[in-house]
Chains A and B, each alone.
Chain A
């Protein structure tokens, strides 16, 4: 079992550009969430996808958008990048049934905006 896999592991972008991060959930998991972890802080919930729809959203602007594919994998898109978007982006997956919040995390994508 490969667990939750994210790509790429590191990324450097320029202000104003757009970025796409990718996540493959753990086998058997159908729900994917994205979190942003700024340096020295705890992760903050961005949004959650289930059945290819955004089900919940945290306090993030519309520049942050996502997608879930039929195979449950997911993408996080960020438009018009700001310096403050520099962070570790974590993907988490879980089973929708009986999981009671228990999520498994990937290794993250380190995004640096310059």
Chain B
């Protein structure tokens, strides 16, 4: 079985400050890792993904994440946030053994303050 833990339910941060949203996963097999963003009353938009290869992955809107296999983590970072980054962020894991179904964490609400 696979699971995802997002360590912070809410992260307040001032505009133009750096931010890190933490994600840890559990799986007994090789995994694929994803970060999705959800704006109010909308579906999920893919920010970035780790499938294989380089452990540092870059996504849209200036976000990046680093896959750390030894620590089973996939933390999301942005060096300078904007008001428009205020949203809910979800970390998810899948694997070919699980039929590529996505298992999501509980989400982290990023609140960017002016």
Q: Residues of A with Cβ closer than 8 Å to B?
A: 4, 6, 33, 35, 40-45, 48, 55-56, 58, 90, 92, 94, 99-108, 110
Contacts and interface: CB of A to CB of B under 8 A. Distances in A.
Interface in B32-61: 32, 34, 36, 41-46, 49, 51
Contacts of B94: 100-101
B90 interface: yes
Interface of B: 4, 32, 34, 36, 41-46, 49, 51, 90, 92, 94-96, 98-107
Contact of A102 (B46, B90, B98, B107): B46
A30 B44 CA distance: 19
A4 B45 CA distance: 11
Contacts of A103: 46, 100, 102
A48 B99 contact: yes
6 contacts: A42-B106, A48-B99, A58-B101, A101-B32, A103-B100, A108-B43
B107 A101 contact: no
A100 B4 CA distance: 18
B106 A43 contact: no
B104 A43 contact: yes
A43 B90 contact: yes
Contacts of A42: 4, 90, 92, 104-107
A56 B107 CA distance: 24
Nearest to B100: A101
A-B pairs, 6 with minimum CB distance: A101-B94, A42-B104, A101-B100, A105-B44, A105-B43, A107-B43
B75 to A, nearest CB: 17
Contacts of B95: 101
A55 B99 contact: yes
Contact of A99 (B42, B98, B100, B104): B100
Given A48-B99, A102-B34, A108 B106 contact: no
A51 B75 CA distance: 36
Nearest to A55: B99
A45 B102 contact: yes
